[in-house]
Amino acid sequence: MNKIKQQLADELKKQLNVNIDIAIFTNPPAADLGEFALPMFALAKEAKTNAPALAAELADKINSTESDLIDHAAAAGPYLNFFLKPEFWTASVLNRAESGKNESVVKPAKIMLEYSQPNTHKEFHVGHLRNACLGASLVNIFRHLGHEVIAANYIGDTGVHVAKCLWWLQKKYPDGQYDFGLKSKGEFLGDVYAEAVKKLEENADLESEVSAVHQMLEHQDSRIMDLWQETKKWSLDGFNLVYDELNVKFDEWFWESEEEVVGKKMIADLLKTGAVPQIKESQGAVIADLKEFGLEVVVLIKSDGNVLYGTKDLPLGKKKFDQFGVDKSIYVVDNRQSLYLKQIFKLLDLLGYQDKEKIHVAYDFVTLPEGAMASRKGNVVTFMSLYQAMIEKLVAETAARHSDWSEDKILSGVKTVALSALKLWMLKYENNSVIVFDMDKAMSVEGSTGPYLLYTVARINSILKKVAADEAPVDYSLLKEIEEKSLIKIISRFNDQVALSAEKYQPAYLATYLLDLAQAFNRFYHQHQVVSSDVNLQAARVKLVRAAKMVMEKGLSLLNIQSVEEM
């Protein structure tokens, strides 16, 4: 819409000899009050008059001048409202929407966006879903805007949680004969980890045994490595099944176990050279004292020699800039790590990367109506179990509505609807909001849900199937009803909302926009017939409907939500 604003500003320069910054154009509160409004406060101050009087004066000047762009202007208190000619405004909006092109002006950058980052030896649960949905959507949005994006996953395949899991696995099954029951191997490992935490809470003396296993892992002791590799594969196989269902893809995979090796050498070198004096030994541990920056102390290596996250995140942070040459490094990580990531970013600054952009996209928890989840407590709801429950419910409902559909068609459609429900619920809330995931509400075709968006697309498709491909020439002036004007105005905002989502690292802006678009379309649909005996009116409305469909489907794809032909 900035392009249209600039054309309007150029027209005002020609007519009124005033320079207008397009950023000050606003939207009138209703579609029948014009396409844009210009506040008069600054111009009135410069002209030493009051804003309403200046708005009325300029409206008269504009209305007495011929323009290919402006139909007329109207004073609205201290604002000057502009009504643009349909052959310019409506044609521009609908044609651009149908083209699907991004028109936001950006300077392309090379970005690495790290997200998902599950820990092996734990199951992929509902809480992990928000990170995966945020990251995948942001990758799509930044690519749409013209950036080169490397999607990265950083797997927590080592650390004390792995040590706890392997310790109890060996202790509970000393003969290696595991009882998986009906659970997947990944879910089985999650249960083992939760049991290990419980045992350690009951008897703190057992911590020394876990520490010994942790040391074996860090030293790649052959007595533990085969079991680690085997169980790690169980987790990764489960993760990849989830990623396949979610249509989440990564260009690069990083591993804590590999960064740990590099990190220990890096910390040793820094201690030796003193290149970063804030990194030093303290009571047998290695710390980074960042109190001078208001960031407290971060422990890198514990006094028992066990490595903590910073020793692994620092070499990975360097690698992103040195090996991949990115301009911006984005971390999608929950808000509990906000202080820690500030500490890592400051250490990277001290290592010479102060001119590189480092962004933490923080988000809050996902809970269920019955309360919060925690892997260590074993009360998580796994993604696969929730997904299967949704599919089972939707299969029954869909089969009842579509007795003529094959089982494969029903299952394929149901999966698309279920995933739309999950993803939209994770994305429609601002990042700093706690999400309470309600399965039944998320699957409803009414309200602010993914299925509601898909239902709107299906409704549009059913309309377009009823019209011939070769329409009459479009007379844009026929789209004059308030519901039509409102829909056109919302369609015009698409690129701005995509750009805002990128600027704020919040797909919620785009998700909310699509819900607004769907509501505007459905208001139009309930008030007006598209298929009409008036071929000219039908052609104009079909043009409007097709533009709405293109924008809706493009927006869904940016949110990593698959569209539908029918429901």
- CATH architecture of the region 405-429+436-558: Orthogonal Bundle (1.10)
Strands 79-84 and 36-39: antiparallel
C-alpha count within 13 angstroms, C-beta hemisphere, residue 55? 19
Average pLDDT score over residue span 64-80: 96
At residue 34, the pLDDT reads: 96
At residue 377, the pLDDT reads: 58
Enter the pTM of the model.
0.94
Q: Does residue 102 carry a pLDDT above 80?
A: no
Q: What is the DSSP letter of 124?
A: -
Beta bridge partners of residue 331, listed in sequence order? 114, 360
The one-letter amino acid code at 176 reads G
C-alpha count within 13 angstroms, C-beta hemisphere, residue 323? 10
Short-list 391, 402, 372, 487, CA closest to 439: 391
Residue 107: pLDDT band with limits 50, 70, 90 = confident
- Residue 504 CB partners (closer than 8 Å, separation 6+): none
CA 185/CA 195 separation, integer angstroms: 15
Q: Give tens-digit pLDDT for 125-184.
A: 888 999 999 999 999 999 999 999 999 999 999 999 999 999 999 999 999 999 998 888
- Residue 404 CB partners (closer than 8 Å, separation 6+): none
Least trusted range by pLDDT, from 41-45, 181-185, 307-311, 439-443: 181-185
- Residue 208 CB partners (closer than 8 Å, separation 6+): none
Average pLDDT score over residue span 236-243: 96
Q: Does residue 373 carry a pLDDT above 60?
A: no
How large a percentage of the chain has pLDDT more than 70? 97
Q: Does residue 533 carry a pLDDT above 90?
A: no
Strands 79-84 and 328-334: unpaired
Q: Give tens-digit pLDDT for 23-70.
A: 999 999 999 999 999 999 999 999 999 999 999 999 999 999 999 999
Residue whose token pair is 């998700």: 511
Domain ranges of the chain: 2-85, 116-377, 405-429+436-558
Which 3-state string (H, E, C) describes 420-443? HHHHHHHHCCCCCCCEECCHHHHC
Q: Give tens-digit pLDDT for 179-219.
A: 998 888 988 998 999 999 999 999 999 999 999 999 999 88
Exposure string of 90-106, with b = 16+ CB inside 10 Å and e = fewer, is: bebbbebbeeeebebee
Beta bridge partners of residue 39, listed in sequence order? 79
Alpha-carbon Rg for the chain, nearest whole angstrom, is 29
At residue 86, the pLDDT reads: 97
Residue 378: pLDDT band with limits 50, 70, 90 = low
Least trusted range by pLDDT, from 90-94, 124-128, 282-286, 511-515: 124-128
Q: Report whether CATH 3.40.50.620 matches the domain 116-377.
A: yes
Going along 94-175, which residue ranges are E strands?
Answer: 110-114, 148-155
Check: CB of residue 557 under 8 Å from CB of residue 492: no
CATH topology of domain 2-85: Gyrase A; domain 2 (3.30.1360)
| CA angle centred on 410, ends 409 and 413, rounded to 5° | 85
Q: Can you say how many angstroms the Cα of residue 427 is from the centroid of all Cα atoms in its chain?
A: 6
Grouping H, G, I as helix, E, B as strand and the rest as coil, residue 559 is coil
At residue 471, the pLDDT reads: 67
Check: CB of residue 249 under 8 Å from CB of residue 132: no
